[in-house]
Amino acid sequence: MQNRRWDFCQVLHATIRLFSSIKRTKAIKNSKNPIWDETFNLGKHTLEDISTENVFEVALWDINDISNPLFAGGVRIGPDPKKMSKTVTWMDSTVTEAGHWEDIFATPGKWVVYKHALRATLNY
């Protein structure tokens, strides 16, 4: 029996109060270098709405067995936790992730590309 492998990304938008949107890419089968070129509508927001106390998370999943997906890693792009009005334990962007967040709002209307190392865990 051949080992089948499927990969997908999950995109989450959350505020300090709630998880407001979770989207999932299409699964890509048997690829060593999967590429997802998908666009998600996460609702109508202004820059002011999301510039503070919001986070976007991207998680990569590998499925060899549909009943047991394997978390392969993720990033959490959001504001510097030290600058937030309220402490929320799972809103824990790293220095690089928070820098990415700040650069996005410093250059509205332009793509801001960073390369992030995937975290081994995304705690909640």
Taking the whole predicted model, whether its pTM rises above 0.75 is answered as yes
Residue 66: the pLDDT is 66
Answer with the residue of higher pLDDT: 1 or 34: 34
Domains and CATH numbers, the chain: 6-106 (2.60.40.150)
Taking only the tens place, the pLDDT of each residue in 12-34 is 888 776 667 888 899 888 888 88
- Cβ within 8 Å of residue 96, ≥6 positions away: 114, 116
Residue 15: the pLDDT is 79
Separation CA 71–CA 63 (nearest Å):
9
* SS3 of residue 28 by DSSP: strand
- Indicate if the pLDDT at residue 1 is higher than 50: no
Taking only the tens place, the pLDDT of each residue in 43-95 is 777 777 777 778 889 999 888 766 678 889 999 998 888 887 777 778 889 99
Separation CA 115–CA 8 (nearest Å):
18
Residue 112: the pLDDT is 93
Separation CA 41–CA 45 (nearest Å):
10
